[in-house]
Amino acid sequence: MTVTDRVEQGVTIVAIEGELDGKSAPEAQQAIVPLVPADGKLLIDMHGVPYMSSAGLRMMLLLYRQAVAKGSVVALVGLSEEIEDTMSATGFLDFFTVVGSVASGIELLNA
């Protein structure tokens, strides 16, 4: 699992590569939480995440809560159909805006 970040047009983009499971989710959390901007915009790119367990869902909820606490907004991009279905069934999509591409995420967050 790898986490990379960059800033484009005032949006912090965090790309996750690899499975988010019981072993990798805590590592991802440690890498991503410090990247959550204060009063900013966060786009989590999950194109490289083929699988997410309940530990990954918990990590996503924690990221959402951290962002809200810091006054930031969060959007997700690149969810696989399976992950999107799981997040929808468990109510997690109620917390996030899901976009189809990084470009549309930047546009939405900057609107």
Q: Which residue ranges form the domains of the chain, and what is each CATH number? A: 2-109 (3.30.750.24)
Per-residue tens of pLDDT for the chain, all 111 residues: 999 999 999 999 999 999 999 999 999 999 999 999 999 999 999 999 999 999 999 999 999 999 999 999 999 999 999 999 999 999 999 999 999 999 999 999 999
* pTM across the whole model: 0.94
Q: How many CB atoms lie within 10 A of CB 33?
A: 13
Alpha-carbon distance values, 67 to 12, 75, 109 (Å): 12, 11, 14
